[in-house]
Amino acid sequence: MADLPTWPAMLPDPRASGYGIQPVTPYARTDMDSGAARQRRRFTRVPSHVSVTWRFTHAEHALFEGFLAYEINLGTDWFAVGLLNGMGVNQVQARFMDDPPYKSAISDSRAWFDVTATLEVKALPLPSRDEYEMLRTYTAAEIAAMGDPLHDFIHAKLPGPIRWN
């Protein structure tokens, strides 16, 4: 993602209201004349559609429009942006997917622009198999309680660094 344009740091993150993630269906489904429908998985990694809403000042809105025009080909090119899912906020590859790419409305006070869009995200991060097993087995409080003793054991109680010669 190093060569991708990056969401400008001066622009705010998406607002919580209006934020939503909708994964694309990874399977094909065939309804049968009789009996249960058949399904089969078609993809191992599928894109997600993320609905976002930003609130921009006039200057931020101008920066946003410039980013679209000069960096990502009016929204058709991929760019790196930090988006939230169950794994926290992570840099992902996204592009605008609607026609028009975004909708902008000025607030009643005329001080803000509320911008809504749907982003196509290549792959939102998932927990590893080990992380999944841990999340499935322990509560968040139990995992947090394990953190300090484990860190203390590894970094304070175990012998110092071993040199490989």
| pTM flag (> 0.75) | yes
What is the share, in percent, of the chain residues with pLDDT greater than 90? 50
Question: Mean pLDDT in the chain?
Answer: 87
Report pLDDT for 159: 67
**Domain map (residue ranges) of the chain:** 1-126, 127-159
Q: How confident is the model at residue 28 (pLDDT cuts 50, 70, 90)?
A: confident
The answer on pLDDT for 63 being more than 60 is yes
Report pLDDT for 33: 82
The answer on pLDDT for 165 being more than 50 is no
The Cβ-side half-sphere exposure at 125, using a 13 Å CA radius, reads: 15
Strand, helix or coil for residue 144 = helix
Strand 88-96, strand 38-41: pairing: unpaired
What is the 8-class DSSP label of residue 45?
Answer: S
Q: Which of 44-48, 122-126, 145-149 has the lowest mean pLDDT?
A: 145-149
Residues 70-109 have pLDDT tens digits of 999 999 999 999 999 988 899 999 999 988 999 999 988 8
